[in-house]
Structure 1
Amino acid sequence: MPHVFTNTPTAQEVFDVACAFFAASPGPSTGLDDMCMYRDPTGRCCIAGNFIPDDRYDPRMDDMSEMPDYKPNSGGNALNNLIEHFGQVVPPWFKEHQRLLTRLQSVHDERDNWFHRGWDYDRLADHLKGVASLFKLDVSAIEQVATRGRIPAGWQSVEA
């Protein structure tokens, strides 16, 4: 279920919710062709899609033919085009935090952070630290992502 802010969030609030999203999410939101999607066919969201309320999501957001000026792999252009073409639908604060959302979306879309169709939580946490540093954000929320990648203390493998 998407996270909906009742007021315009701070950059720290967006980042903290994004970290909680990554920690709770089993993996990236992709279609059959492994292209990232705001919402995949199972309902899984990407990080930007996580902030789009259900009643505002439009499947055309994931249809690149709806955004004819979209250029794949152009550094955040998908989010820029989403705001340009669906600005009346996405939360108004997307524009204010566009740079941060673009960076978070890049973390989501970065295949180095994927392990099959799930996350490599350690790499994900490292990339989130880079985002926090760039935007001068507190890194406390990253711990919940990092702990997903750790083997619990005292855990031992059982030899057959």
Structure 2
Amino acid sequence: MHLATTTVALLSTLSLASARIYGLQAPNQVVPGQPFTVTLLTQNYIQSVYDVAAAFGIAPGTGYPQSLGQVLSSEYLGPEKSNVVGNLNFTVIVDDNFEKGEATLSTSVMSLYGAVYGSTLSNWNVTVTVGDAQGTGLNPFDLGAVARSC
């Protein structure tokens, strides 16, 4: 009887997914006027997280700290895209007249953590090259930069 009770208790916790967004990934090269995919990376987490929204932007060069630059898109995340272990993909387009060269692609994600829904705004960025050919490689975020920005 004790084994059955313990098993039921353990199985009931399996359906309670807890995950959070921890970073950004994008192609290493993007072309103005052509759509490309940006990915919010997710991982298991110790408590529930309600992700409210994400905004994506791009700035020439290194941009400004904690800023998006030119806004590319904003997306409602809500309950269907919160606590999901599995990356979240979004399609964005850089303006046709955006200057070519090195740029900083950024995201800001507004989330509510835990039972009391404590609010956070997390920012991540990656360096991309804006040019004439779409990149085939992915450019993941810098773990060191994420640790400092969270």
Superposition TM-score, scaled by structure 1 size: 0.27
Q: Which has the higher contact order (CA 8 A, sep 6+)?
A: 2
Superposition TM-score, scaled by structure 2 size: 0.29
More strand by share: 2
